[in-house]
Amino acid sequence: MSEFQMTRSTTIAAPPEVILAELVDFRRWQGWSPWEDLDPDLNREFTGADSGVGAHYAWSGNRKAGQGSMEITSVTPSEVALDLNFLKPIKANNKIRFTLTPDGDATKVDWTMSGSNDTLASKLFAKVMPVDKLVGKDFDKGLAQLKALAEGAAAPAY
């Protein structure tokens, strides 16, 4: 079995609780997720808890957006973990972890995806298109959008 793990990081000028609020509510992901704009007609279904553990989000869209679901499995003040399951274009079951580490007046955010390439097709695909090359830029884009959103929310009102 071939395991993989990829992490992208950024530092956001906002306290962890502001960032955590964006991560634990899938409805808020539309404001920062790099994949939300891949299909203007994306079908979204939110079930389970409104936010936090047990919140479930399923999507189905065009070829670029694919089809899959996510469920939040753990939330602490410093970490959000979820299961990510793709149905299309390729079946995959991955783990996502967001780790929030206070850094002075800011927060370091690590976005990690891990999983395994346990089928012949996924092993071959991973040789041609490693996970980092496949979604690394998307994670960077998502973190930049999350940073802009959270820093805007944390800005003092004058």
At 47-67, the pLDDT tens digits run 999 999 999 999 999 988 999
Rg, C-alpha atoms of the chain = 16
Average pLDDT over residues 109-135: 67
Please give the residue range of the domain that contains residue 82.
2-154
Q: What are the residues whose beta carbons fall under 8 Å from the beta carbon of 117, sequence distance 6 or more?
A: 1, 2, 3, 4, 123, 125, 126
Average pLDDT over residues 93-108: 96
Segment among 65-74, 110-119, 130-139, 149-158 with least mean pLDDT: 130-139
pLDDT score of 97 more than 60: yes
**What is the reported pLDDT for 135?**
73
Could you tell me the maximum CA-CA distance found in the chain, to the nearest angstrom?
A: 58
96 within 8 A of 75, measured Cβ to Cβ: no
Q: At 24, which CATH number?
A: 3.30.530.20
131 within 8 A of 6, measured Cβ to Cβ: yes
What three-state secondary structure class fits 64? coil
Name beta bridge partners: 87.
none
The pair phi, psi for residue 39, each rounded to 5°, is: -145, 110
Q: What are the residues whose beta carbons fall under 8 Å from the beta carbon of 52, sequence distance 6 or more?
A: 24, 72, 75
125-134: pLDDT as tens digits: 555 555 566 6
Domain count, the chain: 1
Would residue 96 be called left, alpha or beta, if left means φ above 0 and alpha means ψ between -120 and 50 degrees? beta
Average pLDDT over residues 137-154: 92
